Amino acid sequence: MAGQLLFREFSAIIRGFYLLGAIIKKTQEVKMSPNKNWPEKKRLLEEIDKLKKKIIRLEEEKKRQQEVERALREKEEMYRAIVEGSHDAIYIYRGDNFLFFNENVSRLTGYTPDELSQLNIWELIHPEDRSRVYEYAQKRFQGQPAPTVYEARVISKDGEVHHCEFSVVMIKFQGETAVLRAVRDITPRKKMELALQESEDKFRKLAEDAQVGVYLHQDGIFRYINPCFARMFGYKIDEIVGRLGPVDFCHPDDWPLVARKIEARYRDEEAKAHYNFRGVRKDGSVRIMEVYGSRTTFQQRPAIIGMIMDVTAEKERERKLQASLKEKEVLLQEIHHRVKNNMQIISSLLRLQARQANNPHFEQLIQVCQNRIRSMALIHEKFYETSDFTKIDFNDYARRLLSYLLAIYIKDEKQITLDIGIQDVFLDINKAIPCGLLINEIVSNSLKHAFPGGKRGTISLKMRRTNHQEVELIIADDGVGFPPKFDLHKTTSLGLQLVKDLVRQLGGHFELIQRRGIEYRIYFQG
């Protein structure tokens, strides 16, 4: 390029000198021929004028040529800056040899510029891609259609394989046809695409083999369903995908619910949804469906992906189970009711027997038995009244039991104050009966012995769950307490022996504290 510019510049100078010499020669001829006629002089002057005009045109042409050459140099510098500054490997070739390449070709391939100059360009193309790329080149040189952008693998000097994108264009270089290639290393992108493809294949495999329906819908149309989804509704896959949407499979009465759930996810009000609805199969039959769905993105736009299961059989079994459970609840209520009534009958028979015996001591023993029966009967009464047969609320039970005992033992209702505080303690029947008997024994003992001679006082009952999930039961009175030489471990009292047995039955332990009366602290798992 520089040589051609120098040659044109030198040629212009030579032509300028030649014209200038011709003008000088003609001028001398006019001066040295004073005797020539006027026409001859006029002709010479016209030739001189023409020569001057040629010089002016030559100067203008020279300026234009210089402008063109300056523009060409600027373009060449610009193209060189683009080529050298590009992240792509750029080279020009003709046949099998490089005519030009930038530094990135060396970086990509690992070859030095000298090695590249001696290298056959086709050795850089992976053997499995070489014939295809060579065929493109041949078609291009023959003027036949060939891809201008394609992918192929390049092998570097150390054997590393690079996935590359080729952009190709035919150009004129040094007066002849050549090929310019821009090669971009897309190996990281290909690895990402491969990982994405593997992930997609795994998901597709999982979805295709799943025994639940898998779906993806967008804009009210299913974009993907798995075979199980199609079988579930009695369709073929191609009858649904791209044609039908959720509304086509939903019972009309349930569509408002389904539509609200879908809209809430599109508006990001619900990230996930789980609900049941009635689905309509192709044959018109109705099935109960359980659906899980969440918001996702498909082709850069919001969509919903999820799973669906036919739970008709499960719902029918659940209905039958609920009906059976209801029957058992009714039966269990009746059992608790009859047990309570039978206990009341036993208590009434004992009371009649006591009256006939006409023995005060015997009557007291019968009353103690009646109280114990009443404490158990109240448990069965509570279970009869409740809808939950696994546990009862002990707060209401304790209040009713203590009110009953107070009415039995205390004539003046103002003599004894009850202080009851139970914090949401619920017990099953296996714990409730021994706990009820325990409260009956301790409170009855306080009412009989702690307040002699009509002494006023307070009986408190506190019950709560500790941080260790134990039940803490505290029963205390501010009465006269035990005699001074009382020993808990040596006592033969039937009431206290029964307290020990009941605590043992609860799997717990207790403390007996004597200060301003008696306080029992009982702990058990409940």
Between strands 416-422 and 457-465, the pairing is parallel
170-179 contacts: CB < 8 A, separation 24 or more?
Answer: 170/140, 171/92, 173/92, 173/94, 173/99, 173/100, 174/99, 176/94, 177/94, 177/141, 178/92, 178/93, 178/94, 178/99, 179/92, 179/93, 179/94, 179/137, 179/140, 179/141
Output 16-23 pairs: Cβ under 8 A, ≥24 positions apart.
16/55, 16/58, 16/59, 16/62, 19/51, 19/54, 19/55, 19/58, 20/55, 22/51, 23/48, 23/51, 23/52, 23/55
pLDDT of residue 526: 76
The DSSP letter of residue 12 is H
Of 327, 259, 270, the residue nearest 294 (C-alpha): 270
Tell me how long the chain is.
Answer: 526
pTM of the model: 0.43
- At the topology level, CATH places domain 87-185 in Beta-Lactamase (3.30.450)
Q: Which alpha helices (DSSP H) does 86-126 contain, by range? A: 103-109, 113-118
Q: Which CATH superfamily is domain 197-310 in?
A: PAS domain (3.30.450.20)
According to CATH, the topology of domain 390-526 is Heat Shock Protein 90 (3.30.565)
347-380 burial: b if 16+ Cβ within 10 Å, else e: beebeeebeeeeeeeeeeebbbebbbbbbbbbbb
Q: Is there a shared CATH topology between the 87-185 domain and the 197-310 domain?
A: yes
Quote the CA–CA distance of 315 and 284 in Å, as a whole number.
19
Q: Measured between alpha carbons, how far is 229 from 305 in angstroms, rounded to an integer? A: 13
Q: Max alpha carbon distance in the chain (Å)?
A: 191
Helix and strand counts by DSSP (H, E) for the chain: 14, 17
Q: What is the pLDDT of residue 492?
A: 60
Confidence (pLDDT) at 294: 92
Q: Return the ∠ at Cα 318 (arms to 313 and 320), rounded to 5°.
A: 95
Question: Rounded to whole angstroms, how far apart are CA atoms 170 and 94?
Answer: 10
Give the model confidence (pLDDT) of 446-501 as tens digits.
888 888 888 899 999 999 998 878 999 999 999 888 877 666 666 666 677 888 88
Which residue ranges in the chain fall short of pLDDT 50?
1-3, 5-7, 9-10, 13-14, 17
State the DSSP H helix or E strand holding residue 384, giving kind and residue range, or none if neither.
helix 360-385
Q: Residue 244 CB: number of other CB atoms within 10 A? A: 17
Q: How far apart are CA 526 and CA 377, in angstroms?
A: 20
Give the domain ranges of the chain.
Answer: 2-84, 87-185, 197-310, 312-387, 390-526
Count of beta carbons in the 10 Å neighbourhood of residue 208: 11
d(CA 376, CA 505): 15
412 phi and psi angles, rounded to 5 deg:
-95, 110
Query: Which 3 state secondary structure label does DSSP give 156?
Result: coil
Question: Are 44 and 29 a contacting pair, CB within 8 Å?
Answer: yes
φ, ψ of residue 243 to 5 degrees: the values are: -125, -45
3-state secondary structure of 148: coil
- What is residue 7's predicted lDDT score, i.e. its pLDDT? 45
- Dihedrals φ, ψ of 511, to 5°? -120, 145
- Residue 111 and residue 210: Cα distance in Å, rounded? 52
